[in-house]
A and B are shown apart, each in its own frame.
Chain A
Amino acid sequence: MHSYDYWLILAFFAVVLIPAPFLGRFYYKVMEGQRTWLSPILGPVERGCYRVAGVDPQAEQSWQKYTLALLAFNLAGFLLLFAILLFQDYLPLNPQNLPGQEWTQAFNTAVSFMTNTNWQSYSGEATLSYLSQMVGLTVQNFVSAATGLAVLVALCRGIGRKSTKTLGNFWVDMTRATLYGLLPLCLLLALFLVWQGVPQTFAHYVNAVTMQGVDQVIPLGPAASQIAIKQLGTNGGGFFGVNSAHPFENPTAWSNLFEVASIILIPVALVFTFGHYVKDLRQSRAIIACMLALFLIGGATSLWAEYQPNPTLTNVAVEQTAPLEGKEARFGTTATVLWSVTTTAASNGSVNGMHDSLNPLSGMVAMINMMVGEVIFGGVGAGLYGMLLNVLIAVFLAGLMIGRTPEYLGKKLQAREVQLLVVTLLVMPVGVLVLGAIAASLPGPVAAVSNPGAHGFSQLLYAYTSASANNGSAFAGFGANTAFHNLMLGLGMLIGRFGYILPVLALAGSLAMKKTAPIGQNSFPTHGPLFVTLLTVTILLVGGLTFLPTLALGPIAEHLSLGF
């Protein structure tokens, strides 16, 4: 590794960790309707939204009503997007006259963007009109991230409030999350990207003649605005097929730094938001510490794996550097590895290199990041509520050992809570193992795998992991655009999204109704190094015990058979 590699890593952490506490406080204030410096500008817009929609911003909802509103909103969003994708050839802003998507692919895409997954079994520039990209996908990029944020604040309120039945108002939370939480940041990043050279235009694709005299079509479009939200909203769906490995999506080293940092900026900030909700920032620091620990373990392993000399070349007189196949050659191996770890740790899924070409171990780190449930920073809102589920599991497992009914921040964890936790524990095994096993045992779906042996298995495993974890990145060799995989992966995304959201909201409702026991000397300590260690080990243990056998058949076997 060169010195600029270390500078990149340092700059990455600085860009994320320095503003996060302030941003976290800002999110708390806007989500609770407190006055901020943006209120004079956005306040009238917010109130206008409520008037138009007929929403009473003071009216609080029970967890059931909150959930129903969320489901209705997501269903409506899905149907709208599904329709746009199917019928884009009849709709405006389609200068290339691209045809409508085939229905299983449209279903897959609509589910994918509604669930904040952004799994793409298509190439944007080759299949989607500008309208589909902007009105269809970009809108879902915003609202799916806002949905995650809304679920998170509902859970925060559930933990922070006591003896109440209400969790806030879904419509208000969505409005505030979009208006204050996402739009201003996206505007900033989009402007920055335009400055760096990302296109933002409605013009036709450019026809050029290359120096070899070949005709070339250069795709353009309103890319900067979509890239901003795809990074900040942990969506990850590229405007162009190869995502941020495309020079129009990621033109410079600066755009690379800010795009990769944007992936986890909001998820990190939200951990501080949680601290404000429960009025104890020590909890935030403990959770951040655990996330950072897991991130660094994964990152270090990946970097180490990528910088290993290739054993098959050790007897040949060549100088070995890190392999560059599938890497973003302009920025180097470290930049690609940093991106791959970040994008899988957060449920983003955008890439600036090809994960299929990662060494087996760094590919495994990417999979583990997703398999633990996208809780290492994770998606906007989704990462932290997933992490809080792990916190509750750790508290329940070890909490009995202090001789009390397990409690988190004064809330007792009883049969109902454990029931809901168990449901969420089943999400990844069902999505990855069960759906994966079905795909692996049918001859048709298996044909999507492009490599033999353990690596082929990794491709399939990665696809189902990515879908269930709502990540969206892929091992590119996997031919996902078949009716079977479009539908099954769509199902995986739905399980992965709502398999968490529904129990989390029920949990929030159940916790909100409980009294809060005072925190004292005999309370379970949920901050400090001991708890951070416990939480980290719990996450690795739960994820590891579930997926170790499967990983042994994929990346571990591949790693060992390569002779490393």
Chain B
Amino acid sequence: MMNMPATKAAVVKAPEQPKTAISALWRPALVQAFVKLDPRQLQRAPVMLVVELTAILTTVLCFIPDNAVPTFVAAQIALWLWFTVLFANFAEALAEGRGKARADSLKAGSEGLSARRKTANGSFQVVPATSLRKGDVVRVAAGEMIPGDGEVIEGIAAVNEAAITGESAPVIRESGGDRSAVTGNTRLVSDWLLVRITAHPGESTLDRMIALVEGAKRQKTPNEVALDILLIGLTLIFLLVVVTLQPFAHFANGSLPLVFLVALLVTLIPTTIGGLLSAIGIAGMDRLVRLNVIAKSGRAVEAAGDVHVLLLDKTGTITFGNRRCSAIYAAPGVTAKELAEGALFASLADDTAEGKSIVEYLRGLHPQPEPSAEVLTAVPFSAETRLSGVDYQGRVYRKGAVDSLLTFVGLKRADLAAPLSREIDKIAQSGGTPLLVCVDGKLLGVIHLKDVVKPGIRERFAELRKLGIRTVMVTGDNPLTAAAIAAEAGVDDVLAEATPEKKLARIRHEQNDGRLVAMCGDGANDAPALAQADVGMAMNDGTQAAREAANMVDLDSDPTKLLDVVQIGKELLVTRGALTTFSIANDVAKYFAILPALFASIYPQLGVLNIMHLSSPQSAILSAIVFNALIIVVLIPLALRGVRVQAVSAAALLRRNLLIYGLGGILVPFVGIKAIDMLLTALHLV
């Protein structure tokens, strides 16, 4: 179960480092664009490989004189074909650059790191961090860097994880319990730890993060693979279309210049999406990394866009992780002063957030002299009594859950005075927690502890609902309490009195109905559910078991991030779909530009298809090629930023995107090609 300090929820994000700004990245990206011309690298983007091959072919054709095509024009076509490949490479390099800049700064610390590895005879030996293997045990002392991801098996220490999370306050890591996982390249600021390494070199959290944003190593996501197949298929179809045109032209006693056929092929195949596909994927992962979430694979991010159900822990996600005192009610015959004093004293030694909130509340409501801490005998909460309080001046102040305190004072629920009993019921029904207070066995009254729902979360859920995603609140509370908070937060369903088994069963049930489930968790007992869920996000300060079972780790340990991850997953898919549609829709205008030009010598009457009134066949073909190359550049910002996904129904989203990218994709190139044609003619380039 989640149980985390309240401060964590509102981590202030480090401002974006200047090196990830486009202005600083374009120079290295430009160099990379040329490096990526290597066909071995290009084969990951088959459409662009085809373009490169046609660029080579056209370059060669420039040296073979052809009466139909002036060399001057052929050379320009060849040049723009090269530009097409370079622009696509540039887009990928730019996307990579942003992700890598951040990853590099993280990795910088790990260069030349060494570790003290425990040997078989129990002594420690200094070895380079890169030689550590899974299962090795290392000792890390204050001031040293933890050499790799691992699990604390002995010791307790404060660790500064700023390098990973961007948060400067150190966190406590200790063996056992839910705080045993440590991340490589974080610094110990106190004490020492014995850590069992849990990842081979190259498989650590950091390495995964880097792999996601590096084009050559990146694993394509399932949707990307499917889209790639379609793009290859379309390329193949257009190849057949273009290759068979020559025999058909011969049949009509004509001949088509090879350069023009090549130009037709390149403008028809989906170069826009083919060139930007990789950049879109990398940029999506980069957005995730900038959110401080590390996905173990792109697959999980994509799945996040598909989820139907979000299982969200109440505590820490929907409510601030702690309950706060919101009211007190006196038992019949007890004065307000008596109750206030009793409640205050019973809470003075209580260090929990709840205890502090009671003290705070009473100080404001009813200022009174307080005894200093030294004279109190604190009685901390214990599992046996399930009560806490103080002994002071021979008096016994206690507070606790209704059943526990009634047992303590030897009463039954039925013995309670009716007004008090009613109050308790009311509190419970409203989703609050009633705490009884007693002094020397006398019931004073009841404290109303209330879960505070995070501001804005209700609106978030409403947005998700519009996207068709149901939210299920998971809580250990009883159904009554749970239902009240659920109503306040606006979730769709509740899993009350949740145990890890119940959680797992719920996930399986949803999945059997064909739904995809996302959840987050941190405890070791969450691991099975995290593994079962389609998208499981573990908290970085959770257990190693949870981190391994999940397919994402949130470095800030902020469970609400799950909502952002869903958003990013969706944006990733929408961006790909939008550019695919745009790319294919573009072909209509290109046909109207190229076909009349291509067949001008065979059937001049086909000139009526030249509805854009392009100035000459050569200009028409060159304009189409130039448009085809430039549109990649124009769309780079969109590919890197991603298409925003509004919280509207699928039908509304589809209508909007079809209008913009479908209809827009048909119309834009008519304007663009005409403009380029006018420019080329004005500059006497054709």
Contact = CB atoms under 8 A, between A and B. Distances in A.
A86 interface: no
A386 interface: no
B650 A400 contact: no
B237 A440 contact: no
A401 B244 contact: no
B248 A398 contact: no
Interface string A388-408: 000000001111111111000
The 8 closest A-B pairs by CB, nearest first: A522-B468, A400-B577, A403-B570, A422-B233, A401-B577, A437-B244, A560-B605, A521-B468
B591 A545 contact: yes
Given A521-B466, A522-B469, A530-B654, A516 B514 contact: yes
B225 A415 contact: yes
Given A398-B654, A418-B229, A425-B234, 7 more contacts: A398-B581, A403-B305, A403-B570, A438-B247, A525-B650, A545-B241, A549-B595
A248 B14 CA distance: 87
A453 B308 CA distance: 59
B514 A517 contact: yes
B249 interface: yes
B124 to A, nearest CB: 49
Contact of A454 (B222, B244, B603): B603
B308 A553 contact: no
10 contacts: A396-B226, A421-B230, A422-B229, A436-B248, A437-B243, A454-B252, A460-B251, A518-B308, A544-B588, A553-B603
Contacts of B247: 437-438, 440-441
Contacts of B233: 418, 421-422, 425-426
Given A400-B223, A541-B584, A517 B305 contact: no
Interface string B220-236: 00110111011011101
Chain B, interface size category, equals 35 or more
Given A517-B308, A518-B514, A530 B651 contact: yes
A496 to B, nearest CB: 15
Contact of B250 (A440, A454, A549): A440
A443 B560 CA distance: 72
Interface stretch (B152-160, B324-332, B500-508, B657-665): B657-665
Contact of B580 (A397, A405, A549): A397
Interface string A509-549: 00000011110111111001010001001000100111111
A410 B244 contact: no
B137 interface: no
Interface of A: 162, 396-405, 410, 413-415, 417-419, 421-422, 425-426, 429-430, 433-434, 436-438, 440-441, 446, 453-454, 457, 460, 515-518, 520-525, 528, 530, 534, 537, 541, 544-550, 552-553, 556-557, 560-561
Contacts of A404: 305-306, 570, 573, 650
Contacts of A518: 308, 513-515
- Count chain B CB atoms within 10 A of each CB in A413, A453, A552 and give the residue with the most: A552
A422 B225 CA distance: 13
Contacts of B234: 425
B222 A415 contact: yes
Contacts of B222: 405, 414-415
A280 to B, nearest CB: 15
Interface of B: 222-223, 225-227, 229-230, 232-234, 236-238, 240-241, 243-245, 247-252, 264, 268, 302, 305-306, 308, 466-469, 511-516, 569-571, 573-574, 576-578, 580-581, 584-585, 587-588, 591, 595, 598-599, 602-603, 605-606, 608-609, 645, 649-651, 653-655, 657-658, 661-662
B595 A441 contact: no
Contacts of A425: 233-234, 237
A437 B240 CA distance: 10
Given A399-B577, A403-B571, A405-B302, A549 B662 contact: no
A557 B124 CA distance: 86
Given A429-B241, A552-B595, A557-B605, A522 B658 contact: no
A66 to B, nearest CB: 24
Given A457-B252, A553-B248, A396 B230 contact: yes
Given A433-B244, A556-B606, A517 B516 contact: yes
A544 B577 CA distance: 21
Nearest to B467: A522
A437 B514 CA distance: 47
A460 B249 CA distance: 13
Contacts of A414: 222-223, 226
A441 B250 CA distance: 7
Nearest to B577: A400
A431 B232 CA distance: 19
B605 A397 contact: no
Contacts of A400: 223, 227, 573-574, 576-578, 580
A446 B253 CA distance: 13
Contact of A401 (B236, B511, B657): B657
B230 A418 contact: yes
Contacts of A438: 247
Contacts of A523: 468, 650
A466 B240 CA distance: 19
A357 B97 CA distance: 63
A552 B602 CA distance: 11
B22 to A, nearest CB: 25
A413 B226 contact: yes
Contacts of A544: 588
Nearest to B302: A405
Contacts of A553: 248-249, 251-252, 599, 602-603
B658 A401 contact: yes
B229 to A, nearest CB: 5
A296 B511 CA distance: 44
B308 A522 contact: yes
B236 A402 contact: no
A430 B241 CA distance: 9
A552 B609 contact: yes
Contacts of B650: 402, 404, 521-525
B642 to A, nearest CB: 10
B573 to A, nearest CB: 5
Contact of B603 (A522, A541, A557): A557
Contacts of B651: 525, 528, 530
A397 B573 CA distance: 11
Contacts of A534: 654, 658, 662
A453 B302 CA distance: 53
